[in-house]
Amino acid sequence: MIYFAFFILSTILTYLIKNYAIKKSLFAHVNERSSHTIPVPHGGGIAIAVTWFAGLLYLYLNDQIGQNLFYALITGVIISAVSYLDDLFELSAKFRLFAQTLVAVLGLYFLGGFENLDIGIFVINNQIITNIFAFFLIVWFVNLYNFLDGIDGYAGSEAVFLAIAGYLFFGGGHFLVLAVTVLGFLVWNWHKAKIFMGDVGSTLLGYNIAVFTIYYANRDSSNLWVWIILFGVFWFDATLTLFRRYKNREKLSQAHRKHAYQRLTQSGWDHSKVVIYSIFVNIVLFLLVYFISNVFIAFIMALLLLSGVMIFVDRKKGFQ
């Protein structure tokens, strides 16, 4: 019943924020990166953040979440606050990077660091190396989730999928809180979107996924690859696109529309079709992890699947 209450809270808050944004003319305007054609209210991620942190507090007060995981996740307040200010005032890249660095360091501190990195043929136990890896993983996940928040329902549906998958694999009320929180937002964000989440929502979701990845990898090193596979649709697209743009000698800080989901919309697919197909790919990734006992074989098969998806996208709309 409490999870239904969080869903209602998120739904109502998103509605109220939408109306406030319209009243105050707080719109996400069309630019080089946009996949929408008209200004849309933004800031819906505030509803996600408020409901999420309220849910975390409820779980903590009722002893339903571990202390280290709670403190690591609640640290996301910082990234949410900075991202909200960035939505309003366009903060400098240096300040945003400072905030992301601070959050990554604090998150790792509360998690007790990253214990070991199992890459299949050997395990790295050196704490300097493992924690540097974890630090960059957090910063990258925060940013790539923001990059992939560009069409109606895409970032939200990915978060719901990961929350449900996380619950099925590991259990835990925090996954249910995340799922219902984002579902409440999706009521108003599904195609056509009446409000966007903005950086305040996307960066928080990316941070949460990074924390889950490290937390569960500390419990069992193979869980790192479970999360890498489950999150494959997003990190594969973001990483490959970044590499391709670097290879083309493009200015990486410049706005663009070259991610796979953006090129599919340019090819004529509407937002809902892209999201539905991404959900299908996510389900296949889930099944790979669920039915293949060797996580490294599952990872190789996931890479083949994601490479095939990218070839399909390239044929629909080439990367230029």
pLDDT at 235: 97
Position 311 pLDDT exceeds 60? yes
Please check whether residue 84 is in contact with residue 43, taking contact to mean a CB–CB distance below 8 angstroms: yes
Instruction: Indicate the Cα dihedral angle 267, 203, 276, 282, nearest 10°.
Output: 110
Cis peptide before 194 (omega within 30 of 0): no
Q: Which amino acid is at 71?
A: Y
pLDDT at 28: 67
Tell me the pLDDT band of 27, cut-offs 50, 70 and 90.
confident
Position 25 pLDDT exceeds 80? no
pLDDT at 42: 82
Quote the tokens at residue 213.
């990845």
Measured over the CA atoms of residue 127, residue 229, residue 157 and residue 256, the dihedral's sign is positive
Helix, strand, or coil (residue 284): helix
Cα 231 to Cα 216: distance, rounded to the nearest angstrom: 14
Quote the tokens at residue 84.
């909200």
Please check whether residue 124 is in contact with residue 117, taking contact to mean a CB–CB distance below 8 angstroms: yes
Tell me the pLDDT band of 24, cut-offs 50, 70 and 90.
confident
pTM of this structure = 0.95
Please check whether residue 103 is in contact with residue 76, taking contact to mean a CB–CB distance below 8 angstroms: yes
Cα 142 to Cα 209: distance, rounded to the nearest angstrom: 9
Picking from 41, 20, 43, the residue whose alpha carbon sits closest to that of residue 29 is 41
Quote the tokens at residue 275.
């999201």
pLDDT at 36: 54
| pLDDT tens profile 170-189 | 999 999 999 999 999 999 99
Range of the domain at 49: 2-316
Instruction: Indicate the Cα dihedral angle 310, 314, 315, 320, nearest 10°.
Output: 180
pLDDT at 29: 58
Cα 103 to Cα 82: distance, rounded to the nearest angstrom: 11
Cα 151 to Cα 212: distance, rounded to the nearest angstrom: 25
Tell me the pLDDT band of 90, cut-offs 50, 70 and 90.
confident
Cα 183 to Cα 10: distance, rounded to the nearest angstrom: 8
**Count of domains for the chain:** 1
Please check whether residue 35 is in contact with residue 264, taking contact to mean a CB–CB distance below 8 angstroms: no
Quote the tokens at residue 194.
């009446």
| pLDDT tens profile 206-257 | 999 999 999 999 999 999 999 999 999 999 999 999 999 999 999 888 888 9
What DSSP element (H or E) covers 17?
helix 2-23
The upper half-sphere exposure of residue 151, i.e. CA atoms within 13 Å in the direction of its Cβ, equals: 23
Please check whether residue 106 is in contact with residue 75, taking contact to mean a CB–CB distance below 8 angstroms: yes
Please check whether residue 302 is in contact with residue 232, taking contact to mean a CB–CB distance below 8 angstroms: yes
Q: What are phi and psi of 117, to 5 degrees?
A: -115, 105
Instruction: Indicate the Cα dihedral angle 254, 21, 204, 136, nearest 10°.
Output: 20
Position 41 pLDDT exceeds 90? no
